[in-house]
């Protein structure tokens, strides 16, 4: 019997790479997508274990990139059994300050929201026509928490959570299930890339193992569950906090952890300081912090 096929986006690193490894452990063939060439290394590693793996380099923050991936999948002429919509980025810093570019903010939406929806719209209808399939959507435990200094990121994860639950309800009875994955802080490149290493969130060493996240997500996905909060129990408390705490308290509490410089100064919620001050603290020298992650191709947003 042919192996099932999983499409995993954001598979070159972090949670996505661990998801890809988890799928090969369960005898899946894989289409892996990321932007940088290191996706080829992951594909080579997994082929070494015996899986059939296709690597696609595409910028999923652009319409062309999503079309490229969808075309490559269609070209295989194989049913997609699992679609893991995992590629995602964040950007830290004051929204109105100069430390975050307009392009960076729009790219968060382009990759996390538009790219995810576009790919789902291209691949899910066929799964429904066939009457089987599993969709995994990478949201976050911040899905219910408005996040000062990462405002667009948290909002994008709220979108994905809502989208995931709604799509799941629409697809009930079709044989296709949708699972929202809600990881807590996980030990990946994410915070470096989002220029958040000087925040409490970015600097803390209490982060989850991405392999554990992938294992728990795989189990929930294959069981057809609607939601999985991965990691230790306190991640479930964090997610529940978004439901039980008053709206006005949530952003205030969150900014204690996400404010630029909060990891260095130990200060609490910043008050009565200009946006420019907030922004300049990202670099500590009034400069924009350069992530150690390789520069992105700005591309054309959706």
Please identify which residue in 30, 61, 109, 113 interacts with ligand NAP, judged by CB under 6 A.
61
The interface region with ligand NAP, picked from 14-22, 94-102, 169-177, 218-226 by CB under 6 A, is: 14-22
How many alpha carbons lie under 13 Å from residue 62 in its C-beta half-sphere? 14
Specify the residue, 22 or 59, whose C-beta has the smaller distance to ligand NAP. 59
Using DSSP bridges, classify how beta strands 29-34 and 5-9 pair: parallel, antiparallel or unpaired.
Answer: parallel
15 binding ligand NAP? (CB under 6 A): yes
C-beta separation of 99 from 53 below 8 A: no
- Alpha carbon 217 to its chain centroid, in Å, reads 13
Does 111 participate in binding ligand NAP (rule CB under 6 A)? yes
Give residues 26-45 in contact with ligand NAP (rule: CB under 6 A): 34-36
Residue 210 CA to residue 214 CA, distance in Å, equals 6
**Positive or negative: CA dihedral 69, 70, 74, 75:** negative
Smaller CB separation from ligand NAP, 131 or 232: 232
Segments of 14-159 assigned E as strands: 29-34, 53-57, 82-85, 133-138
**Least spacing, CB of residue 87 vs ligand NAP, in Å:** 4
Options 11-19, 122-130, 170-178, 273-281: segment touching ligand NAP (CB under 6 A):
11-19
Site string for ligand NAP, 170-189 (x = CB under 6 A): -------------x-xx-xx
198, with CB counted inside 10 A (0-12, 13-18, 19+), is buried
Contact set with ligand NAP (CB under 6 A): 10-16, 34-36, 59-61, 86-89, 111, 138, 140, 183, 185-186, 188-190, 193
């Amino acid at each position: 019997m042919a192996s099932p096929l999983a499409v995993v986006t954001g598979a070159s690193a972090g949670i996505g790479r661990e998801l890809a490894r988890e799928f090969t452990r369960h005898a899946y063939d894989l289409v892996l997508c990321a932007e940088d060439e290191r996706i080829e290394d992951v594909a080579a590693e997994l082929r070494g274990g015996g899986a059939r793996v296709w690597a696609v380099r595409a910028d999923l923050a652009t319409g062309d990139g999503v079309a490229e991936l969808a075309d490559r999948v269609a070209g295989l002429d194989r049913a997609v059994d699992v679609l893991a919509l995992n590629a995602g980025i964040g950007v830290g810093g004051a929204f109105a300050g100069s430390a975050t570019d307009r392009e960076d903010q729009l790219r968060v939406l382009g990759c996390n929201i538009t790219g995810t929806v576009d790919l789902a719209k291209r691949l899910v209808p066929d799964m429904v026509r066939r009457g089987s399939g599993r969709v995994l959507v990478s949201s976050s435990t911040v899905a219910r928490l408005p996040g000062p200094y990462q405002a667009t990121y948290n909002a994008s994860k709220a979108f994905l959570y809502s989208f995931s639950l709604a799509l799941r309800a629409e697809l009930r009875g079709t044989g296709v299930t949708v699972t929202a994955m809600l990881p807590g802080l996980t030990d990946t490149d994410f915070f470096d890339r989002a220029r958040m290493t000087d925040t409490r969130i970015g600097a803390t060493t209490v982060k989850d193992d991405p392999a554990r996240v992938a294992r728990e997500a795989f189990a929930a996905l294959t069981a057809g569950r609607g939601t999985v909060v991965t990691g230790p129990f306190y991640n479930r408390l964090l997610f529940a906090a978004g439901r039980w705490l008053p709206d006005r308290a949530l952003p205030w509490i969150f900014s204690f952890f996400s404010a630029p410089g909060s990891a260095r100064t130990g200060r609490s919620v910043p008050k009565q300081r200009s946006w420019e001050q907030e922004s300049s603290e990202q670099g500590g020298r009034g400069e924009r912090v350069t992530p150690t992650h390789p520069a992105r191709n700005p591309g054309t947003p959706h």
